[in-house]
Amino acid sequence: MAETGPQKQPDEAMLDLLIKQVTDGLSPEEQRELDVLDNEVASAYARDLEHAAAAISVAGTGEPPPMPAALRARIEAQLQAAAAPSNTVRAIGTAPQRTRTRSTAGWWAAAACLVLAVVGWLRSPPVQGPGVEPTLAQQREALLASPGAQQIQLAATAEPAAAGAKVDVVWDPRSQRGFVRFVGLKPNDPSQHQYQLWIFDGDRDQRYPVDGGVFNVPPNADQVLVPIRAQLPVHAAKAFAVTIEQPGGVVVSGREHVVAIGKVS
C-alpha cells in the first residue's frame, strides 16, 4: 500500500510518463526518459498509481464470468507441470531410470510419456517391448525424424563453463517439444547455480525469451541430454540460448553468463 508520509512531488512530465506506464505502457524511448528522472520519487508514485489502476480494474469487474472450462483445464495443467521439479538430466548411455516426480506433474507428463513411448516403439527397431520407456536419446532421434523438426547448433561463448562445449537443440514447433544436447559443458553445483535454457520467440518481446527450463550437468557426464520444457507456447522459435543462473532459475535473465547461443536458420 502507498506510503502516506510526506513525499517529494513528481513534476508534470514525470507524472505523464508514470500515468502512461500504467495505462498504455511506455515505448522504449519513453522508458529511457523515465529512467533518467528521479528514480526514488518515480518508483514510489509508479507503485501507488499501478495499485490504484488495479484497484479500479477490480472494482469495475463486478461479478466476473467464469473462465471457459477448456482454458481453465489447460492453464491448471500448465501450472501443475510448472510446479513439478526441474528437468531431469540423464547422461547418454546410462540405463533409463524411472524418475521420481511429484504427482503434481499431472496428466500432461503422463500423456507425454505415453505419446513418446508409442512413437518410440513405432519408430525404433524392435529391441524393446512397448512397456519399456525409450531412452532420451531414442526420444530425441524419434523427434528429429518427425516432419518439421529442426536441429540448431548453438555456439559456445567465451564463458569459462562453456570452454570446448558443443551444444545442439532439436525442436519440433508443432508438438512444442525438444531436446538440448551438451558435450563438454562444465558440471555445476546445483546449490550454487544452474543452467537455464531460453527460447527467443519471434512473436514475443525479445527482452523476455521463453523459459525452457533449468537443468544440471552432473560430473563425469561426457554427453548430457535435456528435454526442453517451454513454459509458454512458442509460436516462432528464432534462437536458443543457455545461461548460468541462480538455483531454481530466474524469470528474466540478466544475461551476465551466457554459455551458448544459436539462431534458427
Partner 1 sequence: MSPTVLQRMASGDPAAVRECMDRYGGLVWSLARRLSRTASDAEDAAQEIFLDIWRSAARYDASRGSDKVFIATIARRRLIDRMRKRSGEPPMEPPEALESIAWSDPASLPDTAIDAAHAARALGELRPEQRQVLELGLMHGFSQSEIASRLSMPLGTVKSLMRRGLLRVRELMNIKIEGAAGRADG
Of 217, 213, 130, the closest CA to residue 179 belongs to 213
Q: For residues 92-124, b (16+ Cβ closer than 10 Å) or e, as one string?
A: eeeeeeeeeeeeebbeebeebeeebbebbbeee
Among 64, 129, 219, 254, binds partner 1 (CB under 8 A): 64
Residues sharing a CB contact under 8 Å with residue 193, sequence separation 6 or more, in sequence order: 244, 245, 246, 247
Among 32, 35, 75, 111, binds partner 1 (CB under 8 A): 75
Identify which range of 92-100, 164-172, 178-186, 227-235 contacts partner 1 by CB under 8 A: 227-235
Among 43, 99, 101, 104, binds partner 1 (CB under 8 A): 104
Among 6, 40, 60, 129, binds partner 1 (CB under 8 A): 60
Smallest gap, in angstroms, from Cβ of residue 106 to partner 1? 9
Residues sharing a CB contact under 8 Å with residue 192, sequence separation 6 or more, in sequence order: 247
Among 8, 29, 40, 62, binds partner 1 (CB under 8 A): 62
Identify which range of 44-52, 156-164, 178-186, 193-201 contacts partner 1 by CB under 8 A: 44-52
Of 88, 96, 14, 92, the closest CA to residue 49 belongs to 14
Smallest gap, in angstroms, from Cβ of residue 250 to partner 1? 10
End-to-end, the C-alpha distance of the chain in Å comes to 48
Binding mask 110-139 for partner 1 (x = CB under 8 A): ------------------------------
**55 touches partner 1 by CB under 8 A:** yes
Of 177, 232, 234, the closest CA to residue 203 belongs to 234
**163 touches partner 1 by CB under 8 A:** no
Cβ-contact 257, 243 below 8 angstroms: yes
| Residues of the shown chain interacting with partner 1 in the complex, contacts defined by CB under 8 A | 1-2, 4, 12, 15-16, 19-20, 22-25, 27, 48-68, 71-72, 74-76, 78-80, 82-83, 102-104, 204-205, 231-233, 251
